[in-house]
Structure 1
Amino acid sequence: MAFTKSDHQSNELLFTAFNQNSTSLAIGGQHGYKMYSLDSVDKLEPVHCDDSVKDVNVVERLFSSSLVAMVSLNSPRKVKLCHMKKGRDIWESSYPNTILAVKMNRSRIVVVLENAIYILSSAGMKSLHTIRDTPSNLKGICALSCTSENSLLAYPGSQHIGEVQIFDATNLKAVTTFQAHNNPLAAIAFSRDASLIATASDKGTVIRVFSVQDGKKLHEFRRGVKRCVTICSLAFSGDSTFLAASSNTETVHVFKLEENSPANQPPPSVRSNSAKTEMSWMDYFSKVLASSSTYLPVPAQVSDMLTQDRAFATVKLPSSSKRNICTLAVIQKLLRVVVASVDGYLYIYNLDPEDGGECTLIRQHRLDVQPGFMNNTPSIDIPASYAEATRVKRIKNRTESTGSSASGSSDSSSSYRQYLNNAILQCPSDDDSVDPLPLDDVKEFPPVAVSAK
């Protein structure tokens, strides 16, 4: 979402975003923009900064390459592509109205306006197609798949309901349209392999996951019922096992995408006392009503609520913010929940992939876009005693629920190691994250200025 000058406050960032594979963070503000590497929990390493352009409200990095797209509030209709290593602009283009978002993958660049979307080739910045007269999209809501072989673009298909339009940016043709919510869309996101798409409406209570191929609803999660919030971001884990959702509140929800949702399974008639996991009375009651909804006159809204899965894990931020952006990243071989706040903080949490629950805050970093901001970013240490106490408590709870036998501990440890191995395999390595395009070759991206009429 792009900001206007009236939204800007000196103590807030104008923009925060993670790159396509969650290996770096980009922030923009009054004094320029800055890039961080997310390869360590303890240290947030600045990799690039530019304070020559002020009031930067859109920054998009192409994976871990040197190519960066940037928009400033001082020239809101102009997008610039910069080469970080060479320290200069290599291309720019102007558009009829304010640029609200820019998305990139290895083959396509997408520029989003309120009522139009422009698709360009990443190989030469050549304009390929324009989607005109799109429904009013003031927040610049869109998603571009990471895969370059089959680039898919998703954007709101209606201003009044939560309709999703999926466009094939490779072959330049519409793919499908489906209604995801009754209310207008607030956030959309593709999974890493572009097989799934997650959506949220401006009501903010329900998160849904659909199959990209046929638009079939696969999962439905309830964020909460007490209040409506603004969903700011959705993010899949690299292996599409988890989905995180952040908002303008202090809570980030993490959902588990299980193949067979418990809400769709018949309730067990007999339960053994030695079962490893026990169903709560509320869960059991919900499943009984869900299974009987076919022959009992249960109101549709109540039935839907009872069949919606709740969060597998939650993150409690120290305070609420106008806008929080989240991602799920493997950092130092462990899956973490990473949250960037417009207030200027980055939070890193541990996620227990087996038991879920409340995630543990392990590091907090301060984000600044100020003159001379390539200095080391200050971080706030979380007391080791607190982190260790939390870890011991979870191990104790897990032992009590699974039994204290040696075989039980071995099975748990083995499954946890297997999960980590799968997660790491699904996430790109350092070599894989390097863009294959010759971005250091000035002949590939010559320093030219082009105006798009």
Structure 2
Amino acid sequence: VFSPQGLCALSINSDNCYLAYPGSATIGEVQVFDTVNLRAANMIPAHDSPLAAVVFDASGTKLATASEKGTVIRVFSIPEGQKLFEFRRGVKRCVSICSLAFSIEGLYLSASSNTETVHIFKLETQKEKPAEEPTTWGGYFGKVLMASTTYLPSQVTEMFTQGRAFATVRLPFSGHKNICALAMIQKIPRLLVAAADGYLYLYNLDPQEGGECSLMKQHRLDGSAEPPNEILEQGSHDRPLTAQAYNTAGMKGTRPGRR
């Protein structure tokens, strides 16, 4: 299938080595190819619109996808193609997804776009709570609303069941192409954003509460303002963090804190 952007993703895991690429130019089909046995593994009908982004997690057992609309992010099991998670990035506007990235242990998934907001989703299954009788008007309304979803169109019902962002990042720009990565640095989960404005931004992610992430450091990538191999705290030049800290190789056993 012709893909002007050359869209594809390759799993880096030697035990689960797959290649994912668009299976159609008009709808969001994902072809999954087994690169070890050199055969087609699966075709996943991921979205109604053409694909905009695909990425594997480090284990090669999960695949995240986004379409050109950019409103819904889905995660599938590999090679089975079963839908594991479905997240809604937004409802107000369609966006161009720039980057999808899993954390090294596969607990978090980031999605950046041509807007100023980066969404971080937490990939954990919600435990079902025993049904309780509502005691307030708001509780009764919520119960009636959920019961009514069985009579609504599937597109409307999906909006009530899709997960929302665990954390968000507000970038100091919009409209620039960018790429994100999630990494453990100094035992704290961080989001790194490299943007076409020439800067690398580093944000802290609270693994317990989520919410809006705080900007910790930024670094000009061409080295014109700061030393080329250092990331300096804003407003301070006395505590450099060397770029070598961003090497995530060998960090497979490190996990961010869980609730």
Q: Same fold (TM over 0.5)?
A: yes
CA distance in structure 2 between the partners assigned to 1:316 and 1:173 by the alignment: 42
Kindly tell me: are residues 291 and 141 of structure 1, through their superposed partners in 2, closer, same or farther at Cα, counting changes over 3 Å?
farther
Question: How many angstroms does 1:150 deviate by?
Answer: 3.1
What is aligned with 1:204? 70
Choose which of 201, 216, 229 in structure 2 pairs with 1:362: 216
Question: How many angstroms does 1:331 deviate by?
Answer: 1.0
What is aligned with 1:269? 132
Partner of 1:252: helix, strand, or coil? Answer: strand
What is aligned with 2:247? none
- The reply on whether 1:255 has 2:121 as its aligned counterpart is yes
- The reply on whether 1:426 has 2:253 as its aligned counterpart is yes
- The reply on whether 1:232 has 2:95 as its aligned counterpart is no
The aligned length equals 239
- Hey, which of these two has a bigger chunk of helix by percent? 1
Choose which of 297, 300, 312 in structure 1 pairs with 2:154: 300
RMSD: 2.8
CA distance in structure 1 between the partners assigned to 2:42 and 2:54 by the alignment: 15
What is aligned with 2:188? 334
Spell out the pairing of 1:81-92 with structure 2 (5 A cutoff): none
Question: How many angstroms does 1:289 deviate by?
Answer: 3.4
Deviations 1:304-331 (A, max 9, x none): 1111111010000111132111111011
Kindly tell me: are residues 193 and 225 of structure 1, through their superposed partners in 2, closer, same or farther at Cα, counting changes over 3 Å?
same
Asked if structure 1 preserves the Cα contact closer than 8 Å seen for 2:68 and 2:96, the reply is yes
CA distance in structure 2 between the partners assigned to 1:250 and 1:374 by the alignment: 24
Q: What runs of 5+ residues in structure 2 fail to find an aligned partner?
A: 237-250
Deviations 1:13-39 (A, max 9, x none): xxxxxxxxxxxxxxxxxxxxxxxxxxx
CA distance in structure 1 between the partners assigned to 2:14 and 2:230 by the alignment: 36
What is aligned with 1:130? none
CA distance in structure 2 between the partners assigned to 1:245 and 1:291 by the alignment: 31
What is aligned with 1:221? 87
What is aligned with 1:319? 173
Partner of 2:119: helix, strand, or coil? Answer: strand
Q: Larger Cα Rg: Structure 1 or Structure 2?
A: 1
For CA contacts below 8 A with separation 6 or more, give which structure has more relative contact order: 1
Asked if structure 2 preserves the Cα contact closer than 8 Å seen for 1:235 and 1:244, the reply is yes
Asked if structure 1 preserves the Cα contact closer than 8 Å seen for 2:112 and 2:118, the reply is yes
What is aligned with 1:167? 33
Asked if structure 2 preserves the Cα contact closer than 8 Å seen for 1:189 and 1:234, the reply is yes
Deviations 1:251-276 (A, max 9, x none): 1000011123x7xx47842589xxxx
Partner of 2:37: helix, strand, or coil? Answer: coil
What is aligned with 2:243? none
Partner of 2:175: helix, strand, or coil? Answer: coil
Asked if structure 1 preserves the Cα contact closer than 8 Å seen for 2:183 and 2:190, the reply is yes
Question: How many angstroms does 1:369 deviate by?
Answer: 7.7
CA distance in structure 2 between the partners assigned to 1:311 and 1:353 by the alignment: 13
- Percent of counterpart pairs with the same letter? 54
Partner of 2:145: helix, strand, or coil? Answer: helix
What is aligned with 1:149? 15
Deviations 1:268-304 (A, max 9, x none): 42589xxxxxxxx69x83x76345533xx21222111
| Equivalent AA in structure 1 for residue 215 of structure 2 | L
Kindly tell me: are residues 153 and 309 of structure 1, through their superposed partners in 2, closer, same or farther at Cα, counting changes over 3 Å?
same
| Equivalent AA in structure 2 for residue 161 of structure 1 | I
Kindly tell me: are residues 271 and 361 of structure 1, through their superposed partners in 2, closer, same or farther at Cα, counting changes over 3 Å?
farther
| Equivalent AA in structure 2 for residue 269 of structure 1 | E
Question: How many angstroms does 1:233 deviate by?
Answer: 1.0
- The reply on whether 1:195 has 2:61 as its aligned counterpart is yes
- The reply on whether 1:310 has 2:176 as its aligned counterpart is no
Kindly tell me: are residues 266 and 299 of structure 1, through their superposed partners in 2, closer, same or farther at Cα, counting changes over 3 Å?
farther
Kindly tell me: are residues 208 and 288 of structure 1, through their superposed partners in 2, closer, same or farther at Cα, counting changes over 3 Å?
farther
TM-score by length of 1: 0.49
Asked if structure 1 preserves the Cα contact closer than 8 Å seen for 2:221 and 2:228, the reply is no
Kindly tell me: are residues 267 and 360 of structure 1, through their superposed partners in 2, closer, same or farther at Cα, counting changes over 3 Å?
farther
Spell out the pairing of 1:56-67 with structure 2 (5 A cutoff): none
| Equivalent AA in structure 2 for residue 317 of structure 1 | L
CA distance in structure 2 between the partners assigned to 1:308 and 1:353 by the alignment: 21
Kindly tell me: are residues 213 and 378 of structure 1, through their superposed partners in 2, closer, same or farther at Cα, counting changes over 3 Å?
closer
| Equivalent AA in structure 2 for residue 189 of structure 1 | V
